[in-house]
Amino acid sequence: MAAQPIKFGIVGCADIARKVSRAITLSPNSTLYAVASRTHEKAAKFAKENGFPDSAKIYGSYEALLDDPEVDAVYLPLPTSLHIKWAVLAAQKKKHLLLEKPVALNVGEFDVILEACESSGVQIMDATMWMHHPRTAKMKEFLLDSSRFGDLKTVHTCFTFAADKNFLETDIRVKPDLDALGALGDVGWYCTRSILWAADFELPKSVVALHGTVYNTSGVILACSASLQWGDGKTATFHCSFLSNLTMDMAVVGTNGTLRFHDFVIPFEENKASFGTAVKSGFTELVTGWEPKPSEHIVTTELPQEALMVSEFSRLVGCVKFEGAKPEKKWPMYSRKTQLVLDAVKVSIEKGYQSVEIVE
Amino acid sequence: MAAQPIKFGIVGCADIARKVSRAITLSPNSTLYAVASRTHEKAAKFAKENGFPDSAKIYGSYEALLDDPEVDAVYLPLPTSLHIKWAVLAAQKKKHLLLEKPVALNVGEFDVILEACESSGVQIMDATMWMHHPRTAKMKEFLLDSSRFGDLKTVHTCFTFAADKNFLETDIRVKPDLDALGALGDVGWYCTRSILWAADFELPKSVVALHGTVYNTSGVILACSASLQWGDGKTATFHCSFLSNLTMDMAVVGTNGTLRFHDFVIPFEENKASFGTAVKSGFTELVTGWEPKPSEHIVTTELPQEALMVSEFSRLVGCVKFEGAKPEKKWPMYSRKTQLVLDAVKVSIEKGYQSVEIVE
């Protein structure tokens, strides 16, 4: 790197910030520069345990970190209800923004964040790591190949994990004042994003949540499902839950081909990941077997997907900072569309599983 | 076998009857005894091409075959709209009945068939072959293991194939007067059956078809999806279609485990089949990989699943014929429940995707 690495400030010491701190360390164009927590002590402990250099700045308040003119970019893993306040303030302080998902409680809030980023000219990207794995690009090649895959017809995704008693009682993701979207905003975010990714971010025309939503006693969603419909006949379904064994399935079916994999958010292994494809699948004579059979493809990666995410974010920040480029609009567009679909699913649930039109 | 093999008559020379004729030949307790078509010539040609013994009886009408007192059992692969007539007549003639799916156009028709079988004391079983693969029993062991699998939470199945122009114009499965249930009755039958199988044949409380049904110009369903809900919070979704690449996915998610396989109706290979399980799946430290990872299990079989189906059917017929046993009720119960769910999906589509209660 000819240019200086991008200096990151971590705003909030959530568990996930540990993984992202390591990713920043691994990313060659990025450096851990500062960390803020609500107390100096917590921030210092986090810095010590997560590979921050001795020179790192330790802040006992988020404001103090945002006031540090040396901070180029912030990673913001705060509870969703706090995003609007701190993401807007970060943008106003000219900090580029790597924002945890769900990006906001609803698209109205996210639009306020986007306006702040736009008027400050800062890059914003959500922290959906799997988008940056080289496997994702390889799979996209397959989906865009009209001969091997053809036209997209249907997608199904499922992301569940079996939360333990402690999670179900204390995690921010089950608290109505912190992460009111619950499982829909957490695991459902990935389901929705992956469906939109498969559909080249063409928004569905309408969304219907499926009967069977499970809530906790505070009314936060612990499990739900939805179906999505496009004007051209494409359909998708997803299921997300905190109440079932960890499962991450994605299947994309086209007129000619099928793509599937079972670790779409976090690959089974850090440095290699696989996906299965089937092309013009058929049966043997007398329908006693398949010909051709599906095949598996392995994609290796030197850096884990979260480090590639940080690298891509920092590359874009560098373009703005060192070359005067405009922020890349594709990433906030992805975030906004994902949030729009989540919002529609929530409305559909609230309206007794009615169909909800998606209005961009 | 001490007892004589069960003598089969094939009623109708559909393509699928070729596979089942081979299965009868492979099955040690079964023998190809007769075949009927609407012309003697067609029946003779079928017998010659499908390994019938020289002594086989060739009939130019279905009635004639049913009037042959030597025929123990018939395999009936006729178009669905003809099932009620011929299945009832076969039962009245005291023929045991291996009936192609969907078993009828609706459960009302199937109940007429069941009454005829009951009053004649004959065995009826539908020709859902995969139920008889040893893999299916192995997978059931997994699903019943409360420690490895836990409680069932959700199921997703998808069975699609890309019908060619000829199929979409001429196949009986797209003709309203022959197979009015279209893709729902054909590929959707397997999706529904597999979901019920995973749920131990506990009927869902209600069914909602999902927006996006595709029809041909005659109003026959070419693609559709549905969601199923049980009273205890279990849910399921399926997608079936004649318009997408051949795909046969099934995923069953419990509180502790996950089962999945991608060839649930017809295994990729005839003599071995695999399935994947994951138990108490979790992440490595820092959530950079999985621990434990899912594992694959291979089940071999000497006889293909369709021959095992014929063998089990003939075993039950033998129990009735030689030992005076009562017919096994489990198989018609499976058929009836599958048909009940299909009916409910169809009603839901017709009612504009309303929720439809399942009444046994």
Which pLDDT score is estimated for A160?
98
Q: Do residue A246 and residue B22 have CB atoms under 8 angstroms apart?
A: no
Measured CA to CA, the distance from residue A349 to residue A352 in angstroms comes to: 5
- The strands making up A272-279's β-sheet, listed across from edge to edge, are A295-300, A272-279, A257-261, A243-254, A152-162, A235-241, A221-229, A206-215, A355-357
Element (H, E) at B311: helix B305-323
Q: Contacts by B302-305 with C-beta closer than 8 Å and gap 24+?
A: B302/B271, B303/B26, B303/B27, B304/A288, B304/B23, B304/B26, B304/B270, B304/B271, B305/B129, B305/B130, B305/B132, B305/B133, B305/B267
**pLDDT tens digit sequence for A169-191:** 999 999 999 999 999 999 999 99
A140: amino acid identity, one letter = K
DSSP string, A300-332: E-SS-HHHHHHHHHHHHHHHHHHH-PPPPSHHH
Which pLDDT score is estimated for A3?
76
Q: Which of B238, B260, B249 is nearest to B183 (CA)?
A: B238
Report how far apart, in Å, the C-alpha atoms of B297 and of each of A354, B32, B139, B265, B300 are.
Answer: 41, 35, 10, 17, 10
Cα distance from A211 to chain B (closest Cα, Å)?
Answer: 7
Quick count: other Cβ atoms within 10 Å of Cβ B357?
Answer: 10
Domain A6-129 has what CATH class? Answer: alpha beta
Residue B219 has pLDDT above 90, yes or no: yes
**pLDDT tens digit sequence for A67-110:** 999 999 999 999 999 999 999 999 999 999 999 999 999 999 99
CATH fourth-level superfamily of B6-130+306-327: NAD(P)-binding Rossmann-like Domain (3.40.50.720)
Report how far apart, in Å, the C-alpha atoms of A242 and of each of A214, A247, B126, B248 are.
Answer: 10, 11, 38, 26
User: What topology is assigned to A131-305+339-357 in CATH?
Assistant: Dihydrodipicolinate Reductase; domain 2 (3.30.360)
Q: Which of B209, B191, B215, B189 is nearest to B348 (CA)?
A: B209
Q: Six-digit token pair at B148?
A: 């490895």
Residue of A nearest to B15 (CA): A286
Q: Do residue B227 and residue A249 have CB atoms under 8 angstroms apart?
A: no
User: How sure is the predictor about B237, in pLDDT bands with cuts at 50, 70 and 90?
Assistant: very high
Q: Do residue B241 and residue A153 have CB atoms under 8 angstroms apart?
A: yes
| Local confidence pLDDT in tens for the 360 residues of chain A | 457 999 999 999 999 999 999 999 999 999 999 999 999 999 999 999 999 999 999 999 999 999 999 999 999 999 999 999 999 999 999 999 999 999 999 999 999 999 999 999 999 999 999 999 999 999 999 999 999 999 999 999 999 999 999 999 999 999 999 999 999 999 999 999 999 999 999 999 999 999 999 999 999 999 999 999 999 999 999 999 999 999 999 999 999 999 999 999 999 999 999 999 999 999 999 999 999 999 999 999 999 999 999 999 999 999 999 999 999 999 999 999 999 999 999 999 999 999 999 998
Of B156, B276, B278, the CB nearest to A245: B278
Q: Do residue A288 and residue B280 have CB atoms under 8 angstroms apart?
A: no
Residue of B nearest to A356 (CA): B211
Instruction: Look up the ipTM and state it.
Output: 0.96
Which pLDDT score is estimated for B150?
98
Q: Do residue B266 and residue A288 have CB atoms under 8 angstroms apart?
A: yes
User: How sure is the predictor about B227, in pLDDT bands with cuts at 50, 70 and 90?
Assistant: very high
Is B206 in CB contact (< 8 Å) with chain A? yes
Which pLDDT score is estimated for A2?
56
DSSP string, B19-55: HHHHHHHHSTTEEEEEEE-SSHHHHHHHHHHTT--TT
Helices (H) and strands (E) in chain B, counts: 11, 15
Residue spans of the domains in chain A: they are 6-129, 131-305+339-357
A34: amino acid identity, one letter = A
Parallel, antiparallel or unpaired: strands A295-300 and A272-279: antiparallel
DSSP state of B174: G
Element (H, E) at A161: strand A152-162
160-179 of A, contacting B, C-beta below 8 A: 160-162
- The strands making up A124-126's β-sheet, listed across from edge to edge, are A57-59, A30-36, A6-11, A73-76, A96-99, A124-126
CATH of domain B132-303+339-357: 3.30.360.10
Per the listing, tokens 């060192």 go with: A322
